[in-house]
Homo-oligomer: A and B are copies of this chain.
């Protein structure tokens, strides 16, 4: 039996190109005790993967050259050498970017696909949902009645962050997105206002959308967005530094918020976070999110690309913003 895998063929400098990736066929090894063989059905591509393509020390090790990429995926167990997993179990795990994955059963989690479709575990019930939740609850704790600004609001994390803010009592939620149709989409999610950040400057668009200022900024973008948010934040405002997609492909140091010194007088808190450090909040998050999903109070959308061989294109599209909601690849 052969597996198809996407390998990192070379490290991108700036924007990744298709030839940074290579589709490789490899033999599937025999299972060792405790391992399972999973046939992946859907895999996730996420912005953070761009950072792992650089050979720099970071919070997760860089991807290795001539080895498969990895990332979240859901699939079905088709062979098991573990008493804990049965053939037919649908599981989520981190060995994406391949059609067949051999991995320890302990590194899979069995999904309740009656409660929610499997792909929800890559979105609202997965990393993106927990990231949005942790950012608003723990990192830049939002209080009822506050105004929240979310950048990248049409993306997987941003779209959930804005909805969670509303559900937790924000008075006003403003989102930015990268095209008129995305802005429409964001409004449809229940954001009170949304703007297209290509209609620069962001500072003026934000002032129109939140004329009385903001209390919390959920940053997926960095750069000009962060500067605009610092200007708009009230005293004791909070920023969750979640992503900086505007900067991931930069080859030079990127412009930083020139008004950062305002953080002193405004007593702002800017806090970076990685969701994997907040696993202790996952149980509370799952309970709340599952309830919201059952009640139909959270909307999530998926942009699905077909075929493992198109996963690099899906990833490149994600960086260019061709997705609405979660970008997934049907393997």
Contact = CB atoms under 8 A, between A and B. Distances in A.
A116 interface: no
Given A226-B260, A263-B241, A235 B59 contact: yes
Interface in A230-249: 235, 241-244, 247
B260 A260 contact: yes
Contacts of A244: 261, 264
B268 A271 contact: yes
A243 B247 CA distance: 27
A239 to B, nearest CB: 9
Interface string A85-101: 00000000000000000
Contacts of A277: 267
A277 B247 CA distance: 35
A263 B59 CA distance: 11
A235 B273 CA distance: 10
Interface residues of A, number: 34
Copies in the complex: 2
Contacts of A243: 264
A272 interface: yes
Contacts of A261: 222, 241, 244, 247, 254
A209 to B, nearest CB: 21
Given A269-B269, A269-B271, A253 B264 contact: no
A260 B269 CA distance: 13
A244 B265 CA distance: 11
Interface centre among A254, A259, A269 (most CB of B within 10 A): A269
